[in-house]
Amino acid sequence: MEPKTTERHTRRTLINFLPDNKNLTLLISGMAITNLTFQFFSFSLPIIIYNFANSVFAMSVMRAIQFIPNILLGLFIGVIVDRSSRRKLLRNSAIVQLFSIVIIIFLIITNSLSVWFLYIIGFFLYSASYAMGNAYHAIIPNIVKKEMLTSANAKISFLNTFSNIIGPSLAGILFAYTNEVINLSVTMTGFLILIFLLSLMKLNNEEDSPKERNKSNKSFKNDFTEGYKELFYNKPLWSLTLNILITNIASSLTGAVLIFYALSNIGISKSQLGIVVAGTAIGGLCSALIAKKLKLYRGKLFVFGIFFMFISQVILYFSFNWISMFVAMFIVGISSTQINIHYLSLRQESTPNHLLGRVAGTSSMIMKMAVPVSYLLAGILGELLPIRYIFLLSAGVIILALLRSIQKRIHLIS
């Protein structure tokens, strides 16, 4: 009888993980496949830049460009999300990214690609990617009950993190036997699948669009202001947004130099580097599995999350082999995923849906506004100082966020 009991438990666990809402299943499946295949692009991009420029600074510039659309277009895209059919916006964003990948493949094949072309194409690709993420975040509360948002976000985070674990490995294996064009073709296929699955979704107006989008003829300026006010007067969300801004600065400083430090200073092998990089994803995977089970107030979760991010930077500073680096990145994965899941859920629960695109755009812009500068700063400091001191600088920045969290005494209802 025991094997049957275990089998029934496993089946129930799997059924509980998969949403019983057809539209939600199609949406999550399509986005999960796209996130997985996008890892093939993310793996290939640094290699392409290395082949053309062989420069750490060129890679840092590309990393900065990844976040620039967030800052320049975040508010504008937020308004578009709140004025549009979110399913169509998801589809159109996928189409833009699809054509961006096609153009890169064409330029590689014809030997016409340059780093500057990559910067320009990358800007459009990451702009569309940001619009897709905003629309995805905004449409979830329309097709998921409020009390299930944390669970839904945990599942989405689990799938994204799982993609982050196996995606680079699969991309590396494929690249070893083929080339970057084949890897980019996998990413292109992922966007085609997403576009197809989105076409199968049958949403009514209430599920597809903000309830009040047709009730207002306000100007873009008024829409911007309305979204900012909604975020600013939501004190818990506003305070957490500023805290995440501070921790993002620290994470960017670390992320810009981590791989270079591991290879040049620690001298780990490429296989060990893969394990270190996977540490964040493995920690995030574990964190997503326990997100709903933690019996702590959200305010305490954020404080603990920031504290453990500080610990991870201290470990990196004292790292002397790949094992200690893996432990540090594992802690980063656990803490950052907890913060992200509960922040997204809080934003979805506490924001009127017709304002969610603008609030998401505004908060995301604020949280990431210093990231490009941090990447560039890390690249400059890495040329002037021993790289391990950048980890110490990151730890100091995180202390500011930790002290601010304790001072504000943020206590959110779980």
Q: Mind listing the pLDDT tens digit for each residue in 304-326? A: 889 999 999 999 999 888 899 99
Q: Mind listing the pLDDT tens digit for each residue in 193-209? A: 999 999 998 877 666 66
**Per-residue pLDDT, 210:** 63
**Per-residue pLDDT, 386:** 85
**Per-residue pLDDT, 219:** 67
What domains lie within the chain, and their CATH numbers?
Answer: 21-209+218-408 (1.20.1250.20)
Pick from 123-127, 176-180, 221-225, 356-360 the range whose average pLDDT is largest.
Answer: 123-127
pLDDT-derived band at 212, boundaries 50, 70, 90? low
Using CA atoms, how far apart are residues 370 and 313, in angstroms rounded to an integer?
Answer: 19
Q: Mind listing the pLDDT tens digit for each residue in 213-254? A: 544 556 667 777 777 788 888 888 888 888 888 888 888 888
For residues 297 and 302, the model is more confident at 302
**Per-residue pLDDT, 143:** 81
Q: What is the 3-class SS of the chain, one letter each residue?
A: CHHHHHHHHHHHHHHHHCCCCHHHHHHHHHHHHHHHHHHHHHHHHHHHHHHHHCCHHHHHHHHHHHHHHHHHHHHHHHHHHHHCCHHHHHHHHHHHHHHHHHHHHHHHHCCCCCHHHHHHHHHHHHHHHHHHHHHHHHHHHHHCCHHHHHHHHHHHHHHHHHHHHHHHHHHHHHHHHCCHHHHHHHHHHHHHHHHHHHHHCCCCHHHHCCCCCCCCCCCHHHHHHHHHHHHHHCHHHHHHHHHHHHHHHHHHHHHHHHHHHHHHHHCCCHHHHHHHHHHHHHHHHHHHHHCCCCCCCHHHHHHHHHHHHHHHHHHHHCCCCHHHHHHHHHHHHHHHHHHHHHHHHHHHHHCCHHHHHHHHHHHHHHHHCCHHHHHHHHHHHHHHCCCHHHHHHHHHHHHHHHHHHHHHCCCCCC
Provide CB contacts within 8 A for 364, sequence distance 6+: 70, 74, 130, 134
> Would the CA dihedral through 397, 400, 402, 404 be positive or negative?
negative
pLDDT-derived band at 295, boundaries 50, 70, 90? low
**Per-residue pLDDT, 384:** 83
pLDDT, mean of residues 12-28: 65
Question: Is 410's pLDDT higher than 70?
Answer: no
Using CA atoms, how far apart are residues 100 and 37, in angstroms rounded to an integer?
Answer: 15
Least confident of 107-116, 213-222, 340-349: 213-222
Using CA atoms, how far apart are residues 334 and 306, in angstroms rounded to an integer?
Answer: 11
Question: Is 16's pLDDT higher than 60?
Answer: no
Q: How far is CA 226 from the centre of its chain?
A: 26
Q: How far is CA 62 from the centre of its chain?
A: 16
- For the record, the structure tokens of 400 come out as 């500011």
Least confident of 52-56, 124-128, 173-177, 294-298: 294-298
pLDDT, mean of residues 291-303: 69
- For the record, the structure tokens of 133 come out as 């993420």
Decide: 167 and 39 in contact? Cβ < 8 Å.
Answer: yes
**Per-residue pLDDT, 196:** 95
Average pLDDT, the chain: 80
pLDDT, mean of residues 280-303: 75
pLDDT, mean of residues 43-61: 75
pTM of the model as a whole: 0.69
Question: Is 17's pLDDT higher than 70?
Answer: no
Question: Is 51's pLDDT higher than 80?
Answer: no
Look-up: residue for tokens 């400059």? 380
**Per-residue pLDDT, 4:** 47
Provide CB contacts within 8 A for 98, sequence distance 6+: 188, 191, 192, 195
Q: Which amino acid is at 211?
A: K
**Per-residue pLDDT, 414:** 41
For residues 14 and 139, the model is more confident at 139
